Structure 1
Amino acid sequence: MKQIPPVDLTRQHELIEQELATAVLAVLKSGRYIGGTAVTDFEQQFANYIGVSECVGCNSGTDALYLALRALNIGQGDEVITTSFTFIATAEVITRVGAKPVFIDINPDTFNLDLNLIEAAITERTKAIIPVHLFGQPIDMTRLMAIADRHNLYVIEDCAQAIGAEWHNHKVGSIGYIGCFSFFPTKNLGACGDAGALTTNDQNIAVQVRLLREHGLERKSDQKISYRHLVTGLNSRLDALQATILQIKLRYLEQWNQQRTEAAQYYQQILQPLPALKLPKTLLEGKSVWNQYTIRIPDLFNQSELTRDLIRSQLGQMGVISMVYYPLPLHLQPVYQSLGYQKGQLPVCEQAAQEVLSLPLFPGIETEEQQQVAYCLKDCLSFLPNH
């Protein structure tokens, strides 16, 4: 059997190789590698795609979240509610600005924040909520925005895994106060290195973020450097090469997202006969873009090694490379021990961490490869009780 990787970037790059080579060479010949029209053109195109008035490119999705918090003056003594079941960057930036992350549990079906738990976590220090549209599935933004409005809270959407996802026909990143995007190579819209962006309809926020992303540097009307620094910022610019690559890839994003959706639907069909698995569920009002296809494998043995881990190991031996996002929730990470969370405090999140397994899924994955994944899974599951 052939080896099937969790993601294969070479397939999409082969389709646009000549376009990329021509565009990148043009940037190299221009001698303009930082800023310029390559960046501003991408920012405008991405703003139009998301459906907002403002887009500010930056160095990474992590920096986009950090810049969002800084632009909203969230810092020492403030609290930000977020999920524990995500990559650490979501909470890390809260800590970096001096605020406190407040973790709540997740919905067992969608892996997103449990909206029923948010209001109980709000205190007089709460300033914002950061929902993560995990694995490409949007959270119920209608309910979330209603909660935020009742309590006068900012909503900063973490859209790192959900570029192109929609809630009620509105793209994520256009519904909350600020949207934050990662263009890490494995995202639905991926650069050839680190890159990110922030979207908003508030021009003042965009101005503040542009100031912060370039050392707090004041720009004159002619864009010449003034060497006057108004705030303490950082170096978080989107470079011209990455912006050029992203412009080209943005033209193909809807096509690639559709391929992901079709592949996910095929998995739903061919894995349905395997009762030991819990397949992902989607909300009717939302449109997922399937950054990951994540199943759950309940732990049937209650041993030191989880059933999920045993099956993942066996799949790997059969050539199917799967991933676990995320094996240790943020509230139990060593770095956040000082917050005082205990094991068992967020039980749905902790159970998910023991059961989730992301199967190979990417634009260009072949039907035969998905069939091989299903065949291998069925073989691995055959030893489970009552299978």
Structure 2
Amino acid sequence: MRIAIVINTAWNIYNFRLGLIRSFLDKNYEVHTIAPADGYEKHLIQEGCKYHFVNLENKGTNPRKDIAYIYQLYKLYKKIRPDVILHFTIKPNLYGTIAAKLSGIPVINNVSGLGTVFLRESRSSKIARELYKYVFKFPDKVFFQNSDDLKYFIDKGLVNQKITDLLPGSGVNIQKFQPEEFKRNAKFTFLLAARLIQDKGIHEYADAARIVLQTYPDIRFLLVGFKDDSPFGVKELTLQNWINQGVLEYLGPTDDIQSVFRLADCIVLPSYREGTPRSLLEAAAMAKPIIATNVPGCVEVVDDQINGFLCEARNSKDLAEKMIAMLSLADADLHQMGQASRQKIEKKFDENFVIQKYQASIEELVLVSSSKSYASTIVAW
């Protein structure tokens, strides 16, 4: 069996799809990974994958570059001839599907979230919807990570419900992300782990921190994640002001998120909308209480007042109130919330659930494809 996995970065493949890849390699599948080079391709090769470079303009829409990306994928698909192609993230989902259709290869897409383009009513969002409506006629299967996103695509006529299915996010390796013995920090510590874009609620996090610090000056507010130079990214000057004023401590990006989570008493994600946020899944697996916005994706992970608190999106004051409620909890209650997080992950978000669904879908597609080929051969004969 030959599988191709196409994502917008090699980092994304290695950090979010390694469990799935290893399950394929354990079955002696030949795994081809396709993404721009960013240093993580060497890790994929070390795991046993074959790596293929492509140029991809991740930010914005440049028709000439996007068409060139489709052509690159088309040539690779014709060369590799995978049995099934797995697409993740927006441009691979859209343009990869076109290339696969031209190549006659079965496709499984994964909509991991609606993304920035759907959060604003603009010309770009209209174009994106039209693209999805056209392109999503062609996949054999489309996975969604929460029921709200699935409903949105069906209600807008962007996908045929018959080819859709739900996944518990990207899942989490519950053996890798393990709780440690509970111990509250002397200085209560909040942590937000996300790419530094406005839609993750970074500004609301900083504003809420200011409010909390007025009454509780010893509280720590940590921020970890990659900077983003897109129009939606947090400005460098703004970030530096937060740091200089003692509002936030920025730890930069990391390849060891477990060590960073261990620093925190509570994980925060004030996002405007998510698929199913990987950072919350990993944090919950490590038995961390969570504060997140009451929006699609986040509500899949957080049960209000059970394993954390839900707050209003784009509302710094409400976020601050939930932070104060969290830091005011007795140790026993804080510990109980963390335990509830771990239990929820074990019950619903173990990555083995995701792997099993992919394996079943791939086997079904290959069987159908083989049957069609056999039927065509008989008719030709």
Report the TM-score when normalising by structure 2.
0.26
Which has the higher relative contact order, 1 or 2, with Cα contacts under 8 A spaced 6 or more apart? 1
Report the TM-score when normalising by structure 1.
0.26
